[in-house]
Structure 1
Amino acid sequence: MDPMPAKRPASPFTPLDFQLVLLRRMADHNPGLVEDARHELGVSIADMREANRRWQAMLHAPRSRAAVSRYRSILGAPESVTPRQIGDLSCEALLWPVPLWPDLRFEVLVAPNGVAWNEWLVRAPGAPSPRLETLDDLTPWSCTVDEVARAFAPARPLEGTAPTRWGLAFTAPDASGVRQECAAEFTWGLLQRVGVKGQQP
């Protein structure tokens, strides 16, 4: 009887694969931008689906590694590790570059017990933030959660529709200067779309 063929070891999950995971979650809102990014990366739709499948398998494996360990294994050593104080919580901010968005970094906030409690895209240190003054400035992929919250304070967090999604409610002027009540949706911390609820009296 012929021996069973040896099982091929799975190829490493790479930084490119991780970018495909980010894009897969954004495809629901901005399929055109995702398609352009996919062509820029030189990958197929099947490649993106496979990367997402493997990512989900890693997340739900019985012996899934901790988030920080997982990101280090995929993305390598972080570009920077910075102490961060958020309210009463002391934590560390770990940043990794994301080649698809050179002005952004993937940030993981890690509590003292080693648990990652936030994972999203932020503006890279030293990179200029976009000028956000009216609704016309809020274009998909142009800004992050923090940037919108600062530009149109006070903003109120909204519950996201999935673990990687966030929302903000705020008011902002339209092109004619009329203030509008808005709700913005973000995926992995990056703006996807803005809905206008009505005019501010």
Structure 2
Amino acid sequence: MEPMPASPGSRPDPAKSTPFTPLSFQLVLLRRMADHNPDLVEAARHQLGVSITEMREANARWQAMTRSPKARGAASRYRSVLGPPSDTVRRQVGDLSCEALLWPVPLWPDLRFEILLAPNGAVWNEWLVRAPGAPPPALRTLADLAPWSCTVDEVARAFAPARPMEGTAPTRWGLAFSGTDEDGQVRSCVAEFTWGLLQRVALRD
């Protein structure tokens, strides 16, 4: 007697059986940036050699991983996906001493993906930062603020005082500041970031 075919509910899900890799995580980063810079994301996707469907599937799997009732802690999840961090440093944020774990991101060789761990081990920040030893970009005027060229901290330092603003979605941040435009006029602006990387700058006046 031939064995009965497995029911649909008993078949393994190929997506779940495929390891979630550092490449998959880069696709998650790109998926969140596509709303602001679809052309840059499209070029990066071709550079990685993946399809739009693969990018969407990676993002869907990541969301499922983070929202699952059985999800592991954020720090453990990042270690599982990205491997051991390339750097571990201490960061002082106000009165809080944190441990920062950093991983390389091949799409942006001069950047690192960083998570900040509170003393109790909880992850309270996760974004892209400049790699240790990599020179920051020269940010003098608003014309220097090209998409993907700089991070939250770099814009905040270059155009101090900058006021943090709540992002429009998770993994997004905003900064309100003033800067000089191409005509030498001082303009009020809002810079928008996704995963800590600059996406666009909008004038407020």
- Corresponding residue for residue 76 of structure 1: 83
CA distance in 2, matches of 1:90, 1:72: 21
CA distance in 1, matches of 2:176, 2:45: 31
CA distance in 1, matches of 2:45, 2:93: 35
How far does the alpha carbon of each residue in 1:31-74 deviate from its partner, in whole angstroms, 9 at most, with x for none? 00000000000000000000001000001111111110000000
- Corresponding residue for residue 38 of structure 2: 31
What is the TM-score of this pair, normalised by structure 1? 0.96
RMSD: 1.1
> Relative to structure 2, which stretch is displaced further, 6-15 or 144-153?
6-15
SS in 2 for 1:52: helix
- Corresponding residue for residue 2 of structure 1: 4
SS in 2 for 1:114: coil
How far does the alpha carbon of each residue in 1:66-118 deviate from its partner, in whole angstroms, 9 at most, with x for none? 11000000000000111111111111000000000000000000001110000
1:186 to 183, 187, 193: 193
Structure 2 residue identity aligned to 1:119 = E
1:130 to 137, 146, 153: 137
Structure 1 gap ranges (5+): none
- Corresponding residue for residue 19 of structure 1: 26
Structure 2 gap ranges (5+): none
How far does the alpha carbon of each residue in 1:107-150 deviate from its partner, in whole angstroms, 9 at most, with x for none? 00000111000000000011010000001000000000000000
- Corresponding residue for residue 50 of structure 2: 43
CA distance in 1, matches of 2:89, 2:174: 26
CA distance in 1, matches of 2:55, 2:111: 21
What is the TM-score of this pair, normalised by structure 2? 0.94
SS in 2 for 1:133: coil
Spell out structure 1 runs of 4+ moving beyond 2 A: 3-9
CA distance in 1, matches of 2:184, 2:131: 31
Structure 1 residue identity aligned to 2:64 = A
Matched, 1:63 2:70: yes
CA distance in 1, matches of 2:11, 2:184: 67
SS in 2 for 1:129: coil
Q: Percent identity?
A: 72
Map residues 92-111 of structure 1 onto 2, 5 A cutoff: 92-111=99-118
SS in 1 for 2:190: strand
SS in 1 for 2:17: coil
CA distance in 1, matches of 2:200, 2:172: 12
Structure 2 residue identity aligned to 1:60 = R
**Cα distance 1:139–1:113, how it changes in 2: closer, same or farther (>3 A)?**
same
